[in-house]
Structure 1
Amino acid sequence: MMRSKPRVIPVLLLKNAGLYKTEKFKNPKYIGDPINAVKIFNDKEVDELAFLDITASQENREPNFEMLRDIASECFMPLSYGGGIRSVDIIREVLNVGVEKVSINTEAVRNPDLITQASQIFGSSTIIVSIDVKKNLFGKYQVYINDGQEKTGLNPVDWAKEVEKRGAGEILINAMDNDGMMQGYDYHLIKTISNSVGIPVVAAGGAGSIQHFVKAVKDSHASAVAAGAFFVFQGKHKAVLITYPDYEVLKKEFNY
């Protein structure tokens, strides 16, 4: 029997002020308006909501603070944001508009001291490090940055240990090969990371059912689960329909 239900977190991808969903970090499909999505998730009483701006790092720009302010003012649940997070000042501004947690990916690799500084200033619980991982032709895992465009040569386990040491309060581990496929998480990757660090690990990339959530938590020891396609697509033709499982359904499936 589990003591409490793990967090189940929709991850919404921002691009040019719209919502999109990718497959393997490619072919972004337009989903709709971010504010409308937030309103729907408010009604569904979602545990937590994550927004990631997928072009901010590529375009070397700061977050869209005006849009973030609008999103935060509508959002009734805890909110995290990632994309274009390059300095302590940017983190401060993101938090000031009403976001609770900030997710750092590209700049965490390029400037690991930012993790240390940010966690000391704002507290570890505020700082998430997002780690995008892809297998090479030989099945070896490698960390990517810049929205999956740039290899780093980093081993994800070594990097996860490093970000924990530097003060990150949470890790979002995203399997690029599984992204948007709805065939299940990379359970081996999640378990390897979860068993290597003491901070919460959020599984992302590939969820297509509640059973995938349960397996990630019970078998791979994830602390929480995140998904995109599962919450925005319906049926084999992937019609756009924003949904979230009923609390009682999750309670039954997680057996708590």
Structure 2
Amino acid sequence: MLSRRIIPCLDVREGRVVKGARFRDHVDMGDVVELARRYRDAGADELVFYDIGASPAGRSVSTEWVARVARELDIPFCVAGGVRDVATARAVLRAGADKVSVNTPALEQPALIDELADAFGTQCVVVGIDSTREADGEWRVRSHTGDPAAMRAPGRRTLDWVREAQERGAGEIVLNCMGSDGTRDGYDIAQLQAVRAICRVPLVASGGAGSVAHFFDAFDAADVDAALAASVFHSGAIAIADLKRALATRGIAVRAA
């Protein structure tokens, strides 16, 4: 059995890590390289960096901090935010990232997923999906979530988009359940289960982690391949080594911290 992954998520703005709840009220958490090094040493299996300033500003992700991070890490890391084309993805990967993640640009131009997969292989291509349950009970995607004032509802059903993304070449899906993001009330297990039922590529749970039990539920009940979290790690509420020990005692296969 493959080990389940624990992935700290670092939102980056101008080389600094920030964290907010429900995409708002961001607080400075420290230098991106310092936190990357800290999580590597703490036992993280992988890191995800979101350049939250790039997409709202309409610019490409800065490869300067990507290169600085790459010089310090010997674990895989993924970069998201401001990756709109193959050229930008190539620059990010050449700077040292192992994967690139696309969200809104893929919704606006789905063929981008095909282009990235053809250029770099599906193993490098992650599709991030921000999803919420609407009044009719359906889960639908949101775009432009980096700026709450600009957020849009394309009307696309989440499950339909998951199917299309993997058909086009997504090697991994990160499902961010917006109703849970930043709340520490637990992952949206029902939504993760629905996506897991149709998702044949690795699935990463995002949004809502607040306790060891929440991680266990995501792995056990929703059968996700990895669990992503931010605030519980940044604040020190959960230590990765302690989390992994607790998961292992409950039968979840994890790499030792």
**TM-score normalised to structure 1 length:** 0.92
Report the Cα distance in structure 2 between the residues aligned to 1:195 and 1:124, rounded to whole angstroms. Answer: 20
Give the Cα separation in 2 of the matches to 1:190 and 1:255: 17
Deviation at 1:66, TM superposition (A): 0.6
The answer to which of 197-206 and 36-45 deviates more is 36-45
Q: Does 1:250 align with 2:247?
A: yes
* Superposed displacement of residue 254, structure 1: 3.9
> Amino acid of the residue matched to residue 205 of structure 1?
G
Tell me the residue number matched to 1:211. 213
**Residue correspondence of structure 1 range 1-256 to structure 2 within 5 A:** 3-147=1-145, 149-234=151-236, 243-246=239-242, 247-256=244-253
Work out the CA distance in 1 between the residues paired with 2:45 and 2:194. Answer: 25
Structure 2: state its 5+ residue gaps: none
State the secondary structure of the residue aligned to 2:55: coil
Cα distance in 1 for residues equivalent to 2:126 and 2:114: 12
Any conservation in 2 of the 1:13–1:54 contact (CA below 8 Å)?
yes
> Which of 51-60 and 78-87 deviates more?
51-60
Q: How far did 1:13 drift? A: 0.5
Distance 1:13 1:88 in 2: 22
The answer (yes or no) to whether the contact 1:210–1:253 under 8 Å persists in 2 is no
Quick one: structure 1 residues 107 and 193, their matched pair in 2 at CA, closer, same or farther if it must change by over 3 Å? same
Unaligned 5+ segments in structure 1 are 236-241
RMSD: 1.6
SS in structure 1 at match of 2:57: coil
- The SS at the match of 1:245 is helix
* Matched residue type, 1:251: A
Question: Letter of the aligned partner of 1:154 in structure 2?
Answer: R
Q: 1:101 to 1:254 in 2, by over 3 A?
A: farther
Q: Distance in 2 between matches of 1:15 and 1:147?
A: 15
Letter in 2 for 1:189: Q
The structure 1 segments of at least 4 consecutive aligned residues displaced by more than 4 Å after TM superposition are none
Kindly indicate whether the alpha-carbon contact (under 8 Å) linking 2:51 and 2:61 is maintained by their aligned counterparts in 1. Answer: yes
What letter corresponds to residue 180 of structure 1 in structure 2?
Answer: G
Q: Residue 42 and residue 234 in structure 1: after superposition, are their counterparts in 2 closer, same or farther (change >3 A)?
A: closer
Return the letter of the residue paired with 1:214: F
Identity of aligned residues (%): 33
Whole-angstrom CA distance in 2 between matches of 1:252 and 1:11: 25
Q: Measure the CA separation in 2 of the matches of 1:139 and 1:187.
A: 15
What secondary structure, in the 3-state scheme, does the structure 2 residue paired with 1:251 have? Answer: helix
- Count residues with an aligned counterpart: 248
CA positional deviation for 1:138: 4.3
Cα separation, 2, equivalents of 1:199 and 1:22: 29
1:5-59 deviations in Å (ceiling 9; x for gaps): 3111101101232111121111112211111101111211311111011121111
Structure 1 position 213, deviation (Å): 1.2
